[in-house]
Amino acid sequence: MMPLDYAPGKVVEEFDAKKEGKRIHVVLRYPSMSDLDGALGYINAVMKETEFLRHNRELSREEEKEWLEGTIKGMKDNNKVAIFVEVNGRIVGSGTVEKSFGASAHVGTLGISLLDRYTGLGIGTRYMKTLMEKAKDMGVEVVKLSHYESNDRARHVYEKLGFKPVGTMPRARKDKDGSYQGETIMYRMLE
């Protein structure tokens, strides 16, 4: 185990993806406090596009500031890794792995999202591998994640990366129309 190589805004990886024949330059980097407005714009945009995230209302700047401060502190304390996906200077994706504590401090929970127009380009698969490498550096041995039952694309990506389902908790999501959806828990060892 080694401490996370966190530095504000540090670039972790860069690569090109292709969309409709055009090259998109993708930067994976650590957050800094100067990302507050970009990160707020991102979370409030992505939550409107997908029904697969837990967030279901707009966040205030104060709430996002609290999240960003806590996340950066977590990275300095070697408890959390957060990586933004940036295209043309704009945050288009966000992912984290956060350690549990005490006797389960070797277990990390992963969460990931991308703006819809950047999905299906292979970015999520590559991005998850990077997040897991960083989590392993931080001492994470088991990665846990979950997806709402009907999120077939996320399940496909997670299975492809070696995650195994543990089970599905019924009625984990309740939508505004009162309908429920289960949430499947998955795990993967980091050897």
Ligand X SMILES: CC(C)(COP(=O)(O)OP(=O)(O)OC[C@H]1O[C@@H](n2cnc3c(N)ncnc32)[C@H](O)[C@@H]1OP(=O)(O)O)[C@@H](O)C(=O)NCCC(=O)NCCS
Which residues in this chain contact ligand X in the complex, by CB under 6 A? Answer: 50, 52-53, 112-114, 119-125, 147, 151-154, 156-157, 160
**CB closest to ligand X, residue no:** 124
Closer residue to ligand X in complex, CB, 83/114: 114
**Reduced to 3 DSSP states, what percent helix, strand and coil does the chain have, rounded to the nearest 5?**
35, 35, 30
State the Cα–Cα distance between residues 47 and 59, nearest whole angstrom.
10
Q: Please state the closest distance from residue 122 (CB atom) to ligand X, in A.
A: 4
Residue pair 47/55 in contact by the 8 Å Cβ criterion: yes
Taking alpha carbons only, the member of 3, 186, 29, 5 closest to residue 107 is: 186
Closer residue to ligand X in complex, CB, 65/161: 161
Q: Please state the closest distance from residue 124 (CB atom) to ligand X, in A.
A: 2
Q: Please state the closest distance from residue 57 (CB atom) to ligand X, in A.
A: 17
* Residue 170 burial class via C-beta count within 10 angstroms: exposed 0-12, middle 13-18, buried 19 and up: exposed
Q: Which pair of tokens denotes residue 78?
A: 């070697």
At 149, the amino acid letter reads E
Q: Please state the closest distance from residue 102 (CB atom) to ligand X, in A.
A: 26
Closer residue to ligand X in complex, CB, 44/50: 50
Closer residue to ligand X in complex, CB, 38/139: 38
Q: Please state the closest distance from residue 74 (CB atom) to ligand X, in A.
A: 20
Closer residue to ligand X in complex, CB, 74/124: 124
Q: Is 157 helix (H, G, I), strand (E, B) or coil?
A: helix
